Amino acid sequence: MKKILFLLIMASITMIGCTPTSTQQEQTENTQNAVIDAIMARRSIRQYHATPVSRDTLMQIMECGINAANGQNKQSWEVRIVDNSATMAQIQDLMAAGNAELDPAMVKGCMRGAPVMVFIARDLNYDFSAYDCGLLAGNILLSAQSMGVGSIVLGSPVRFINDAVNSADILHILGYSENYELCLCVGLGYAAETPAAKPRDINKVKFID
């Protein structure tokens, strides 16, 4: 009997210890966590060190990318990673040649000097594929941030490639399947700058009662 009483008392003490009081709950809610830290610390990086990002690190980032929510789990994306400077230069040269009316330095500079470029194409047969690609890119940015890798989403290279007169030559290098269209680029690399956060307008968010 004494033993049972002892066990009951011990169980109650343990339960009291595990049940958060309101103060503990508030503390938990106010405590930063790794995901929130990564979201709030991420900034678009436009200056990079030449230091390469290892393929192990890149694959871990891509695993996070492809684990994004996506419509009907169709995974309506195809991802191509260029992490060698020769191929990057080849693509940039073709982009400049294919947009001859534009300043070549401006066209090449649209990749912001990132040593790794992730080219994301969307499945034209799926109407929500652009959202899938955006969510994939979001996971790439945040997982990269959490691993100390800087990033930037880039729309300009998409325009310069899709609108180029030699678009087919550039896309041939990336080797997408038929019915896939280049949709978004993400630059990755080790940041050589620490930009301040740009202001956000919380008034665009409203509760409707």
The residues pairing with 119 across neighbouring beta strands, listed in sequence order, are 80, 185
Give the whole-angstrom CA distance, residue 112 versus residue 188.
10
Q: Is 153 in the site for ligand FMN (CB under 6 A)?
A: yes
Tell me the closest approach of the beta carbon of residue 69 to ligand FMN, in angstroms. 17
Q: Is 80 helix (H, G, I), strand (E, B) or coil?
A: strand
- 130 lines the binding site for ligand FMN (CB under 6 A): no
Taking CB under 6 A as the rule, does residue 156 contact ligand FMN? Answer: yes
8 A C-beta contact, residue 162 and residue 92: no
Residues 6 or more apart whose Cβ sits within 8 Å of residue 99: 107, 160, 163, 164, 165
- Find the binding residues for ligand FMN in span 94-113 (CB under 6 A): 110, 112
Q: Does 75 bind ligand FMN (CB under 6 A)?
A: no
Q: Which two tokens stand for residue 73?
A: 């789990």
> Is there a contact between 179 and 207 (Cβ–Cβ < 8 Å)?
no
List the one residue from 155, 162, 163, 165 that touches ligand FMN (CB under 6 A). Answer: 155
Find the part of the chain contacting ligand FMN (CB under 6 A) among 6-14, 20-28, 119-127, 150-158: 150-158
Candidates 59-67, 95-103, 151-159, 163-171 — which segment interacts with ligand FMN by CB under 6 A?
Answer: 151-159
**Min CB(141)–ligand FMN separation in Å:** 8
Residue of the chain from 2, 198, 204, 206 that contacts ligand FMN (CB under 6 A): 198
Dist CA 42 CA 150 (whole Å): 8
The SS3 assignment for 21 reads coil
Give the footprint of ligand FMN on this chain (CB under 6 A): 43-44, 46, 110, 112, 152-156, 195, 198
